[in-house]
Amino acid sequence: MLPEQLRTMSRLYPDEVGYRNLDEGTSLTFAAWETESNRLARGLIGSDVAPGDRVSIYLPGEEVLAWVVAYAAVHKAGAIAVPTNTRMSVGELASILDHAGATVVITSPDLLATLAAARPDVPSIRLAVVTGDTQTDLGHTEVTAWDQMLDQDDAEVQVPISDDAVADIMYTSGTTGSPKAVVVRHANASVLPNNEPAWSHSGWLHASPLFSFAGIAFVYTPMKLGLCGLFLPRFDAGRWLEVIAAERPWAAFIVPAMAQLIIAHPAFETADLSSLALCSLGSAPVAAATLRRLQEKMPEATVSNGYGMTEAGSAYCTMPKEESARRIGSVGQPMAPMEVRIVDAGGSEAAVGEVGEVTIHLPGRQREYYRDDAATARTWVDGWLHSGDLGRLDEDGYLYIVGRMKDVIIRGGNNIYATEVEAALLSHPAVLEAAVIGVPHPVLGEDVAAFVVARDSSTPPLPDELEKHCAERLADYKVPRHITLIDELPHNATGKVLKHQLTAE
């Protein structure tokens, strides 16, 4: 079970710092993390939280230390954690908490107003645990302060549950529509097994919200490698560069939007990134030019675009350091026992190098969608997860992600991958970010439209200039005919571009 790793670290390295909030300058030793989560777990149990109850963790990134304590405590109580997006509207929050059937919400005073507005539509909520001031009326819901919920007994506690028990209900990022709820079990929660690592005295830096698939992996993954979790609640490229130089972490995780901002920052060329042995990127494909710039800046590090999705669970690809520069754009080779197969529209296996849908097979119990048997049956077919991602395998089995199936633009019968056009735009020195979508065309069916953020808003590139730049790098039918300069692209909390919002631009 997930909390076993924390118990191990508390036993082996009680006084080592397991997690740090770099913006607040606060930290948590493994011993404090273990005992505080024991006290909170006992408090939840004493408040009639039973195995299988759904407990929402609705805390901002600024309270990351409370977040990781709550996450361990929920599992120790035998309950199910529901990591909850703090950027949602009242309606979105109510919809997700009601769908999950949450009975308890662990939250912050800053989020109580939103929770109070959503509460009438979530009749299952009976208790709110608040990390600060509790002077908010939640109707029939009891409101209790965090400190009052902590039991006096900090001894080890674990309500007996099986490894197959549900650990989390994770809501996907919903970049193309409503989020889906993925069931995560203790047995398939992580690619890395619990172990007794040697302590490295180094850390792994990330800035991904803990309610996301990327963020939640950084609760336990760093400690499994003998590393401290280093968290930036608010990403800023300049601050990120400063932290790398000052803290000298062994590893860092960023998403493509962060990478674009980092390489565009004036301090990038002179920044000291020499401590990094690993710079992993995830959540979306990364432009080849961006990967090359990062690799050139960190020649001794492994710089790779990882691949994962909430539905795939512990699926993981590996990229040997010596291959990362040679296979720019690849997310690596599938790591056993994971299998990847590329299939065409008819479901047949595609030839080497041919683009098709990425399907994934892992032995053991597959993940599923919570309370949605129909979606589960559509997504997992004969043991294979149909990812909705487009990709290809090269002759050596390295996987390349081309984009999402929904991002394919069919212009006059020609398939155009949005990521390919975006890469061409991003290779222009005046472009900071780009997103490409299909728009209706009366004759061709669809046309190519691009939304571009300039690196310097005072001297933006002209649309004609960008069209010419793309024409020199792409087939004529791939060149965007509609180019719109905007101040910023809409992103979700995990850094992914919300392309469905661009259609209304």
* CB neighbour class for 418 (10 Å; exposed up to 12, middle 13-18, buried from 19): buried
Kindly report the backbone phi and psi dihedral angles of residue 106, in degrees, each rounded to the nearest multiple of 5, phi listed first.
-100, 120
For 79, the token pair is: 């309950």
User: In Å, what is the CA distance from 49 to each residue of 57, 151, 262, 400, 492?
Assistant: 14, 14, 44, 45, 32
- Tell me the C-alpha distance between 423 and 361, whole Å: 30
In the block, residue with structure tokens 């090269």? 394
- Other beta carbons within 10 angstroms of residue 476's beta carbon come to 8
Bridge partner residues of 483 (DSSP): 450
Tell me the pTM: 0.86
Give me the mean pLDDT over the 192-211 stretch. 95
* pLDDT tens per residue across span 42-60: 999 999 999 999 999 999 9
DSSP 176: T
Query: Where do the structural domains in the chain lie, given as residue ranges?
Result: 30-187, 330-404, 412-502
Averaged confidence pLDDT in the chain? 91
pLDDT at 338 over 50: yes
pLDDT given for residue 288 in this prediction: 80
Residue 404 amino acid letter: R
* pLDDT tens per residue across span 56-74: 999 999 999 999 999 999 9
Kindly report the backbone phi and psi dihedral angles of residue 461, in degrees, each rounded to the nearest multiple of 5, phi listed first.
-70, 150
Q: Which tops the pLDDT comparison, 137 or 354?
A: 354
CB 74 within 8 A of CB 103: no
CB 375 within 8 A of CB 180: yes
Helices (H) and strands (E) in the chain, counts: 15, 27
Range 303-318 burial, b when 16+ CB lie within 10 A, else e: bbbbbbbbbbbbbbbe
- Fold topology of 30-187: Rossmann fold (3.40.50)
Give me the mean pLDDT over the 411-419 stretch. 86
pLDDT at 273 over 90: yes
- Fold topology of 412-502: GMP Synthetase; Chain A, domain 3 (3.30.300)
- Tell me the C-alpha distance between 460 and 236, whole Å: 22
User: In Å, what is the CA distance from 161 to each residue of 1, 3, 6, 181?
Assistant: 9, 12, 17, 22
pLDDT at 177 over 60: no
* pLDDT tens per residue across span 6-27: 999 999 999 999 999 999 999 9
pLDDT given for residue 178 in this prediction: 65
For 499, the token pair is: 């392309």
In the chain, what percentage of residues exceed pLDDT 70?
98
Of 105-119, 277-291, 401-415, which has the strongest mean pLDDT?
105-119
Q: What's the per-residue H, E or C state across 443-475?
A: CCEEEEEEEEEECCCCCCCCHHHHHHHHHCCCC
* pLDDT tens per residue across span 420-477: 899 999 999 999 999 999 998 888 888 999 999 999 999 999 999 999 999 999 989 9
Range 234-256 burial, b when 16+ CB lie within 10 A, else e: ebebeebbebbeebebbbbbbbb
User: In Å, what is the CA distance from 179 to each residue of 5, 99, 182, 256, 443?
Assistant: 30, 11, 9, 21, 34
CB 489 within 8 A of CB 427: no
DSSP calls for 383-412: TEEEEEEEEEE-TT--EEEEEEGGGEEEET
Give me the mean pLDDT over the 155-172 stretch. 94
pLDDT given for residue 310 in this prediction: 79
Top CATH class of 330-404 equals mainly beta
- Other beta carbons within 10 angstroms of residue 444's beta carbon come to 16
Closest CA to 222 of 73, 79, 16, 24: 16
Least confident of 167-176, 266-275, 428-437: 167-176
Residue 441: partners with Cβ closer than 8 Å, 6 or more residues away: 411, 447
pLDDT at 135 over 80: no
CB 402 within 8 A of CB 420: yes
